[in-house]
C-alpha cells in the first residue's frame, strides 16, 4: 500500500523556503525547483488515486462474491453466512461466534448502506459506505470509523482522496471542488494543516504552509500567469511584512473555500449480551458452568 513519507514531503518544500525573489522577478533556479516540487507532489497524489481505484475494484469483487461459509440454519450464528434484522436496519453476510465478522452488507432504515469487511460486530477493513444524502466513501475503516486510505465522493461533486484518522481527513490528501479549485497537501483534524498547494479556479495558486484552513507560515501566492503576488510570511490568511511581523498588509487576498462537512456513519446495532458472552468464553470459562454464570452477571 502506498504512503507518502513526511520526510520527502518536507524536502520538496524546503526549496521554496530557501529561495528568494527580488522585486517580484522569479529566478530560473526558483522556477525549476518549484516545478520539480509540484511535479513530485502531483505524481505522489496520482499514485494515491490509482491505489484507491484498486480499492474500489476490490470492494466490487467482494460484494458479489459468494461466501464459502455454510448457510446459518439456526441461532446463535457460528461461522456461517446468513441474515438478521435489527431496529435500525438489516444485515446479510458472514458470522463468527454470533458476531458480524467477515464480508457483509448492512442496509440502514434511513437509506444508508455499508458493504465490506466486518470485525467483531463493527465495520472494520475495506468497505464502501453510501450515505442517505448521496455521499459515498470507498476505503478503509477501523472501529466503524473512516480510518486509513480512502476516497470520499460528495453528492455535490466535491471529492477527497487521501488519508483518514478516526473519521477525519488526516495526513496527505487532495480535495477537489466542483468549481475547479483544488487543494493538494497535508490535512489535520479535517482542515488544511501543514505544507500544501491550493489552486484556485482562475489559475491563481498558493504554495506553502497552512494552519486551520488559512495561509499561515511561509508561502507564495501566484497569479495564474506565474507572476508572484505575495511571498513571505502569513498569519491567519493575511500576508505579514517580514521586516515587521506585527504589521499585516491589507491587500485583497483570495479566500479559501470551506471544505464540505462530512456526515458520520450511523451507529450499527450491537448485541452487548453476546459480546459479554464471548468475553467470558475467551477467559476459558465453559458455558453453563458456575464461573461462566458469574461472569455473565
Place of cell 524546503: 14
SS3 218: strand
State the Cα–Cα distance between residues 169 and 146, nearest whole angstrom. 9
Beta strands in the chain (DSSP E): 80-86, 89-96, 99-108, 113-119, 122-130, 136-142, 145-153, 159-165, 168-176, 182-188, 191-199, 205-211, 214-222, 228-235, 238-240
Place of cell 522569479: 26
pLDDT of residue 46: 54
Assigned C-alpha cell, 275: 459480546
SS3 280: helix
CA atoms within 13 A on the CB side of 277: 10
pLDDT of residue 57: 41
Q: What is the pLDDT of residues 223-253, one digit of tens each?
A: 999 999 989 999 998 888 653 444 444 445 6
Domains of the chain, CATH where assigned: 6-271 (2.20.110.10)
Assigned C-alpha cell, 139: 476505503
Assigned C-alpha cell, 204: 491563481
The stretches of 19-113 forming alpha helices (DSSP H) are 28-64
State the Cα–Cα distance between residues 41 and 46, nearest whole angstrom. 9
User: At a CB cut-off of 8 Å and minimum separation 6, what does 12 contact?
Assistant: 36, 37, 40, 41
Cα–Cα separations (whole angstroms), residue 46 to 3, 51, 105, 160, 161: 12, 9, 30, 13, 10
Assigned C-alpha cell, 117: 469487511
- Compute how many other C-beta atoms are within 10 angstroms of the C-beta atom of residue 140: 21
Cα–Cα separations (whole angstroms), residue 95 to 52, 75, 285: 27, 11, 22
State the Cα–Cα distance between residues 166 and 128, nearest whole angstrom. 16
User: Whole-prediction pTM value?
Assistant: 0.68
SS3 66: coil
DSSP string, 155-198: TTS-EEEEEEETTEEEEEEEEE-TTS-EEEEEEETTEEEEEEEE
Assigned C-alpha cell, 69: 461459509
SS3 13: helix
Q: Which residues of the chain have pLDDT under 70?
A: 1-66, 241-253, 259-262, 267-279, 281-283
Place of cell 453510501: 130
- Compute how many other C-beta atoms are within 10 angstroms of the C-beta atom of residue 208: 23
Q: What is the pLDDT of residues 203-217, one digit of tens each?
A: 999 999 999 999 999
Amino acid at each position: 500500500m502506498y504512503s507518502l513519507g513526511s520526510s520527502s514531503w518536507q524536502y520538496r518544500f524546503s526549496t521554496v523556503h530557501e529561495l528568494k525573489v527580488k522585486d517580484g522577478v522569479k529566478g530560473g533556479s526558483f522556477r525549476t525547483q518549484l516545478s520539480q516540487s509540484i511535479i513530485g507532489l502531483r505524481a505522489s497524489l496520482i499514485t494515491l488515486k490509482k491505489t484507491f481505484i484498486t480499492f474500489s475494484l476490490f470492494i466490487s469483487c467482494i460484494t458479489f462474491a459468494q461466501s464459502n461459509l455454510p448457510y446459518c440454519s439456526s441461532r446463535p450464528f457460528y461461522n456461517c453466512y446468513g441474515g438478521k434484522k435489527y431496529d435500525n436496519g438489516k444485515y446479510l453476510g458472514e458470522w463468527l461466534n454470533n458476531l458480524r465478522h467477515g464480508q457483509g452488507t448492512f442496509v440502514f432504515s434511513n437509506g444508508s448502506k455499508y458493504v465490506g469487511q466486518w470485525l467483531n460486530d463493527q465495520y472494520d477493513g475495506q468497505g464502501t459506505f453510501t450515505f442517505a444524502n448521496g455521499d459515498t466513501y470507498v476505503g478503509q475503516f477501523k472501529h466503524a470509523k473512516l480510518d486509513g486510505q480512502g476516497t470520499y465522493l460528495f453528492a455535490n461533486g466535491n471529492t477527497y482522496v487521501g488519508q483518514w484518522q478516526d473519521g477525519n481527513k488526516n495526513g496527505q490528501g487532495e480535495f477537489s471542488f466542483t468549481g475547479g479549485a483544488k487543494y493538494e497537501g497535508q490535512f489535520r483534524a479535517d482542515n488544511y494543516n501543514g505544507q500544501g498547494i491550493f489552486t484556485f479556479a482562475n489559475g491563481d495558486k498558493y504554495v506553502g504552509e497552512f494552519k486551520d484552513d488559512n495561509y499561515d507560515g511561509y508561502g507564495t501566492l501566484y497569479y495564474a500567469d506565474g507572476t508572484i503576488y505575495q511571498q513571505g510570511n502569513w498569519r491567519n490568511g493575511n500576508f505579514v511584512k517580514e521586516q515587521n511581523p506585527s504589521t499585516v498588509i491589507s491587500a485583497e487576498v483570495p479566500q479559501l473555500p470551506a471544505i464540505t462537512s462530512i456526515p458520520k456513519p450511523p451507529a450499527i446495532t450491537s448485541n452487548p449480551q453476546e459480546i459479554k458472552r464471548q468475553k467470558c468464553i475467551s477467559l476459558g470459562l465453559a458455558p453453563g458452568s458456575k464461573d461462566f454464570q458469574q461472569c455473565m452477571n
